[in-house]
Structure 1
């Protein structure tokens, strides 16, 4: 599972409960996850453009596994798309997520046993972005686990509220933030005090995907417990 290369990058805690695991997926695991994403992207219940309640559209395209996410809830069918039943959540993906949690927090933590049941797959082309938001539609507080494939992105991670770190200075959408570069194969875990932190992707770096992967753009797979 774990990659690393010639000069492995160390894990780092970006905020309390938010841990960056560089090179978590080796080349074989990345290729396996990419092949799965390409199969999941096919209809029915495949990759779609998400329309927000006020009429805007997300620039990323998305699909769900296990439970279908739509703004702002979950359903068993693609209620804002083709109406098909959502594709099943694969147990092996839950195992990958639990392994990342164990690496981030230590194997003796209770959340290592989380029964993950939802995954969201986001595809970013060269112009796609993700605005600052919080993952608050889940009933569970289990850590979110994110896997990155393809182009490098700037992952912006903030606070669970919209005040500054001193508790007095307002700074919208959870600032001040920490920007982290997520490279193909990286994992990112956020739970505990950072479970509902604001986060987003202000930009990707087109053309930075590993040539051997054969992916143009960026895929992000986030694993959750509903």
Structure 2
């Protein structure tokens, strides 16, 4: 439960995996929502990703910097419209570095060059998976939540099953995972419709994840 009576506290969910509740101000959240709307229009628009086996993800995604096309990064979105992916803006890179400082006290050489913006409606889910297409495996993943609260399931590096920890991510929350937890399986088994602050300006859940690909 959130609020002044029961404040949510910063938590290290696993070694290198840090949850910082309420890291983004409402004003900054609104700015990010407005930016997400612009990014969703293209040049490569937001879409439901089609997996190699023919399955279609319930989450909708738009990419910046590098286009994630299962299971690799490319500059041109051959699986969508053949356009070159939009650049990752410098201010978002700096926000990612600030997030790493918040989580670890020092951003080091962290310089994200790709972002995946995922939109979840009330029925969307994300199965347990690893973020493992990046060559810079030492660099953490930075996750920013906007809109509706979700259950974020953070697991282990061995497989999709237990042990795992379920964390409620609310609008404005920061979650960073690196180090020993960089390749932990994780997913979103549930979104809670109608739980977001109307002042943020989005119905549903937006998640921005920043990565350093290690690609030229």
Q: What TM-score bracket applies, with the shorter chain setting the length? A: over 0.9
Partners of 2:161 and 2:98 in 1: CA distance? 29
Alignment of 1:1-226 (within 5 A): 6=4, 8-107=7-106, 111-141=107-137, 142-162=139-159, 173-226=160-213
TM-score by length of 2: 0.94
Contact 1:49 1:60 in 2 (8 A): yes
Q: CA deviation at 1:5?
A: 7.5
Structure 2 residues not aligned, in runs of 5+: none
Contact 2:146 2:206 in 1 (8 A): yes
Contact 1:174 1:197 in 2 (8 A): no
Partners of 1:72 and 1:149 in 2: CA distance? 26
Task: Count residues with an aligned counterpart.
Answer: 210
TM-score by length of 1: 0.90
Q: CA deviation at 1:211?
A: 1.2
Contact 1:120 1:222 in 2 (8 A): yes
Query: 1:30-68 CA distances to partner (integer Å, 9 max, x unpaired)?
Result: 011001000000032010110000000000000100000
Contact 2:33 2:201 in 1 (8 A): no
Partners of 1:112 and 1:153 in 2: CA distance? 30
User: Superposition RMSD on alpha carbons, in Å?
Assistant: 1.4
- List, as ranges, runs of 4+ consecutive aligned residues in structure 1 with deviation greater than 4 Å: 4-8
